[in-house]
Every structure is written in structure tokens, then in C-alpha cells.
Structure 1
Amino acid sequence: MAESDEQLAERLATAAGQILLALQAKGDLAGKALGQAGDEAANAMLCRELRAARPDDAILSEEEKDSAARLAHSRVWIVDPLDGTREYGEGRSDWAVHVALAVDGVASVGAVALPGLGITLTSGAPTPLAPANRPLKMLVSRTRPAAEAVHVAERMGAELLAMGSAGAKAMAVVRGEADIYLHTGGQYEWDNCAPAAVAAAAGLHVSRVDGSPIRYNNANPYLPDLLICRTELADEALRLAAEFSPA
């Protein structure tokens, strides 16, 4: 039986995570050097396997030279072989591997491996949302919390929860550990395509911070903002983000 896109994404994200864990375990590299080696090793495997399994599709990867030829393709694999390089190099668990498929600009398939936690979440097997019987929690960057996110959290009475990679933050919402991930500090398509696909499949709200849909396979892959949250919180979060103005 042929491997589905969902199965392929899950298999490759998980395998890349194993490569990254093995590099960590060797112990001969650390910090930036470990992150660079991990990026290169995971990316080489992912791109090789995607080209073998889906030769007619295009690839957009953080670690590959971009080509405008992908714009002519309906199906584009969008890959981040190591999301959260700093956290990975520091031996933390809040880093991820992203493997996604955008079809006609829509994040249609996604797998986010969290190797430090030993799990891979996918759009093919949506995670049931756990009831949020606790105070609201909003995820922000460990190093540069967005002013808009801090404003929204204050107005909604949400506790700020600092975490590393975009994938780890988005999956914390999927897993019910937090409720809102609002980011305005700038990202690229590979930072959020797989998380967006997994979050949408799990029944979460996924959009730009102005409420518009996120589109992928753009000529410029820069994506400055996104909102992933429980659906019942989306309207208020979007309203509060819109009213924010820097001091």
C-alpha cells in the first residue's frame, strides 16, 4: 500500500528527530556548532527522502537555497529540519522538526516532531483538545516576547508561558498545556506551516493576527505573524491585538 502524505510527513519528521537526538548524545558538539551540524544532517535526510518519495513536488526548506521554480507547483513540501536551534544546542526539550505539505497555498498536511519529549503530532491523527480547566496561558518567546502578545495577555488575564521553538509553542496549545500562541516578531513559512496544519486539524483557530488566512508558497516566504488558539478565544484575541498600539 502506498505511503500517504500524512504517513510520509510523520515518518520523516520522526526520523529527523532521531538523527538530531543521536548527534546530541554523542556529546562531541555543543551550542551553535551542535545546532549547525543538526540542521545540516536533518535537512540532508529530509530533502533526499522527499525527492525520492515525491519527485514531482517542490521543496521549500530553511536550509536549502530557495528557487522560484517552486511557485509553479501546486504541491510544495515546507520543511524546518530544526526549529529551535538554540534550545537544541542548550540541551532543552522545546525544539522541533517540521515537515509540511502546502497544496495550492494551504497548509494541508503537517507533522511536528518533539524529539525531546519523544512524540510526533500530525494532521493525520488529530489530538483531541483537552478541557482548559485552569487559568488562561499564553505562549511567548523565551528571548523576545512580542509586545502585542504581552498586551493581549494582560487584557485577557492570561499567564505568560515562555518557550522556545514555534513548533513547541504551537503544539503546547494542541496538547492543552496552553491556550493562545500569538506571535508578531517575524517568522518564515517553514516556522509555522507544519504547526498550522496540525493545529487546524486539531480544531484550533489558525490565522494571521489580522484574522486573515495564512497562505503558503509565496515568492517571499517571510510571514511576520500568526495566531493559534482555542476557537472560543479567537475573537477576543484578534480584537485586542488590533487595538494594540506601541507606546
Structure 2
Amino acid sequence: MTAAPPFQTELNVATRLALEAGELLRGHLARGLTVEHKTGADDPVTAADREASELILAGLNAAFPQDGLLSEEAADSPARLDTQRVWIVDPIDGTKEYTTGSPDYAASIGLAVDGEPMLGVVYAPATDELFAGVVGVGVTKNGEAAGFSNRTDYVVSVSDTEFKRELHRHDLPGMVPSGSIALKLARIAAGEADVTFTMSPRSEWDIAAGHALVRAAGGDLRRRDGQPIRYNLQRPHIEQGLIGGRLEAMAWLEGELNARKLPTAHLGLTQADRAWTTLPEAEQDALRGHSGVFVRHAGGRVLALLVVDAGGTVERASGDAFHLERLTRDVTRALGTLNAAPLKTGRLD
């Protein structure tokens, strides 16, 4: 008798819940949406987000009561930190797209084991596309085996928001903008694109399922400084921009990004981070040991700096106004609304 593939029960449950959540999301669209905003215009939330989250979490808890749970739209419980396995859920990755009529949104359900993403299910209700995969087993799209492409002219899937604000100014080849990073990663795993990157940080729920799918296809997702991504952290936010996809496409893209000096944010910068050396020496001395150092940097130079105390008050805000505005958005999404400080613009070096 042939043994069942690993995580088959988990995959079946996650698939069923993603499809049920998708049906709920379509129903809300048909009835009309009421949109609120959490930290700004780029961070909307709806009743559909919350109801889909409740549906998914209830189903996971019923099936796997010993596992930890983490969802963007539910109160966090520190109990998850003591579990080996944690389900990481974004009921709607791409809420802005969902509320504005774009099909680029998805229900995203990932399972991390000992901090490693092992299983992912991403369902796009608008197009009825279901991506599922387990590391060591493989990836399917709508039940059919899928995997990386073998094209050499790489398709670079990028954030439509980042493209409109900044990336359109650069001549990076192969860029195709779209919403939902979970859906980008799923489509890379299924061969519809090859690689992606972000300038802004993301949270665990944005990427856990997609990361598992890319790993299941034989690729990876890392921080822009090359460090691996771990899951089920106390503060579930990735500290900087990301790069992921086919390994050979990632190597090519890293070279292209470095050549063009495309920036990335780094939140919670410390002396242990490679980007610490982008700070001028005087700043390194002044900020050593501070837990609230946030930068946007490129080409070995800091473009914007925020220093925030434990209460969310901005102690310092300096740098290029364009980059400082984007860094402030990133920090606000991670920490919540900041208490403002006087703005100092200009180069930091």
C-alpha cells in the first residue's frame, strides 16, 4: 500500500477552506462593500476580510487544535509562539484590488513548521485559480501538476503600487505589475512568471503560503540582503524588501537591482545587519543600541532615516523627502500611526 504524501490531510483542509473563503468573498462583492482603512489609503479592510478570516481560522482550529494560528485580521495570541506548527493566514491578500474591481486578490493559507514554510494554498476567487503545494511534493494549479518555466527572458512580477510610484522610472527589463504578492508567488511557482521583488517590507501572512509554493517548485524567497525568512516570530513582519522565485532568475535580478541602485526599506536596523554600514559613522555612534532605527537605502547610502521610540514617537526624521515619505508608509504599516516629529530633508552623508 502506497503511503499518502506528507501533509495531505492538511492540504485537503486548507484547500477546502480557501475555496469556502473565496465563495464568501464573491458573495460580499455581489452585495456591495463597506471599506475602512487601517493605517492609510493603501491599507483598506472590509467586513469580508474579517468574516473570511473567522471562517478559515475556525476550520483550521477544528481540524488541528494543537496548531498555532496567525491571521492579519484576528487578534494575535502569544500561545502560537510555543507551537511547532503555525497556520499563517491572509483572508484577502490584495484588499485594495478587491475593493477596486481588480481580479488580483487571493485567499492565502500557509503552514510553517519550526519556522519553515512547508505548505501553501492560494486561491484567486475572481479567476477561479487554485494553487496548492507542499515542499518536497510539488505544486498544482487547479488540480494539475505545475512548476517553474524554463524561459530565459525572465518575467519579473512587481507590485503595481510600487510600479506606479517608483519602478516605472527604471529600465528594469521584464517588469509586469500586478496586485497581491501571494498571487505573484503562486503564479511564479506555476511558471507564469519567474521572479519577484519588493522595495517595501511585508508581513508573514502576506507571503507564507506563496513562499511555500515557490519552495515546493524548487525556488526560494529571501530578504533583499540575502538572509533567510523565518516564520512565527513575535513581531510577524519581515524587516525589509524581498526577492524570490527561480534561483537562477533571482541571481540575475539581484545583479540588475544592484546595478540600478533600486532601494529597499530596512525596519529595526541593528549593528548585526549589513545595511548598518550605510549609516554615516556619526549616526552609527549615535544610534548604536537603539531599537527603533528605520532606513531606506540603496547603493551603499541611506536615503531616509526614521528613529522611533518605544511609544511610537518619532525622535528623528531626515533624508530625501521622496524616500522619507515611502519609509514613513512602511513604518506606519508595521507599527501603526506614528507621533510626528519635525522633518529634516536633505542628504544624510
Query: TM-score category by the smaller chain?
Result: 0.7 to 0.9
User: What is the aligned partner in structure 2 of residue 12 from structure 1?
Assistant: 17
User: Following the alignment from structure 2 to structure 1, what is the Cα–Cα distance between the partners of residues 226 and 11?
Assistant: 27
Q: Which has the higher contact order (CA 8 A, sep 6+)?
A: 1
User: What is the aligned partner in structure 1 of residue 100 from structure 2?
Assistant: 90
User: What is the aligned partner in structure 2 of residue 132 from structure 1?
Assistant: 151
Q: What secondary structure is seen at the aligned counterpart in 1 of 2:213?
A: helix
Give the superposition deviation at 1:129. Answer: 2.1
Give the superposition deviation at 1:237. Answer: 2.4
Q: What letter is aligned with 1:24?
A: L
TM-score normalized by the length of structure 1: 0.87
| Residue deviations 1:131-185 (CA, integer Å, cap 9, x gap) | 326x43212211224999779x74xx52221111111221232233322211130
TM-score normalized by the length of structure 2: 0.63
User: Following the alignment from structure 1 to structure 2, what is the Cα–Cα distance between the partners of residues 150 and 196?
Assistant: 26
Give the superposition deviation at 1:43. Answer: 0.7
Q: What letter is aligned with 1:144?
A: E
Residues 188, 221 of structure 1: 8 Å contact kept:
yes
Q: What letter is aligned with 2:160?
A: R
User: Following the alignment from structure 2 to structure 1, what is the Cα–Cα distance between the partners of residues 244 and 126?
Assistant: 22
| Residue deviations 1:30-76 (CA, integer Å, cap 9, x gap) | 65599512101101101111111111111010011112221111111
Q: Is it true that 1:21 corresponds to 2:31 in the alignment?
A: no
Higher helix share: 1
Residues 123, 129 of structure 2: 8 Å contact kept:
yes
Length, aligned pairs only: 242
Matches within 5 A, 1:36-115: 36-115=46-125
Identity across the alignment (%): 33
Give the superposition deviation at 1:241. Answer: 4.1
User: What is the aligned partner in structure 1 of residue 332 from structure 2?
Assistant: none
User: What is the aligned partner in structure 1 of residue 214 from structure 2?
Assistant: 199
What stretches of structure 1 move > 6 A for 4+ residues in a row?
146-151
User: What is the aligned partner in structure 2 of residue 188 from structure 1?
Assistant: 203
User: Following the alignment from structure 2 to structure 1, what is the Cα–Cα distance between the partners of residues 167 and 190?
Assistant: 20
Q: What letter is aligned with 1:119?
A: E
Residues 13, 113 of structure 1: 8 Å contact kept:
yes
Q: What letter is aligned with 1:215?
A: R
Q: What letter is aligned with 2:15?
A: E
Give the superposition deviation at 1:210. Answer: 2.0
Q: What letter is aligned with 1:131?
A: N
Please, which moves more after superposition, 47-56 or 6-15?
A: 6-15
User: Following the alignment from structure 1 to structure 2, what is the Cα–Cα distance between the partners of residues 184 and 146?
Assistant: 13
Task: Specify whether residues 130 and 242 from structure 1 end up closer, same or farther in structure 2 by C-alpha distance, changes over 3 A only.
Answer: closer
Give the superposition deviation at 1:238. Answer: 3.0
Residues 149, 241 of structure 1: 8 Å contact kept:
no
Of 155, 158, 174, which residue of structure 1 is paired with 2:189?
A: 174
User: What is the aligned partner in structure 2 of residue 208 from structure 1?
Assistant: 223
Gaps of 5+ in 1: none
User: Following the alignment from structure 1 to structure 2, what is the Cα–Cα distance between the partners of residues 221 and 242?
Assistant: 27
Gaps of 5+ in 2: 38-43, 140-145, 262-297, 304-349
User: Following the alignment from structure 2 to structure 1, what is the Cα–Cα distance between the partners of residues 118 and 194?
Assistant: 22
Please identify the structure whose Cα radius of gyration is greater: 2
Q: What secondary structure is seen at the aligned counterpart in 2 of 1:139?
A: strand
Give the superposition deviation at 1:123. Answer: 1.2
User: What is the aligned partner in structure 1 of residue 318 from structure 2?
Assistant: none
User: What is the aligned partner in structure 2 of residue 231 from structure 1?
Assistant: 247
Q: What letter is aligned with 2:16?
A: R
RMSD over equivalenced CA pairs, Å: 2.7
User: Following the alignment from structure 1 to structure 2, what is the Cα–Cα distance between the partners of residues 236 and 138?
Assistant: 11
User: Following the alignment from structure 2 to structure 1, what is the Cα–Cα distance between the partners of residues 196 and 234?
Assistant: 26
User: Following the alignment from structure 1 to structure 2, what is the Cα–Cα distance between the partners of residues 119 and 240?
Assistant: 31
Task: Specify whether residues 202 and 139 from structure 1 end up closer, same or farther in structure 2 by C-alpha distance, changes over 3 A only.
Answer: same
Give the superposition deviation at 1:110. Answer: 0.9
Q: What secondary structure is seen at the aligned counterpart in 2 of 1:211?
A: coil
| Residue deviations 1:171-223 (CA, integer Å, cap 9, x gap) | 23223332221113011000000000011101223222222221000111111
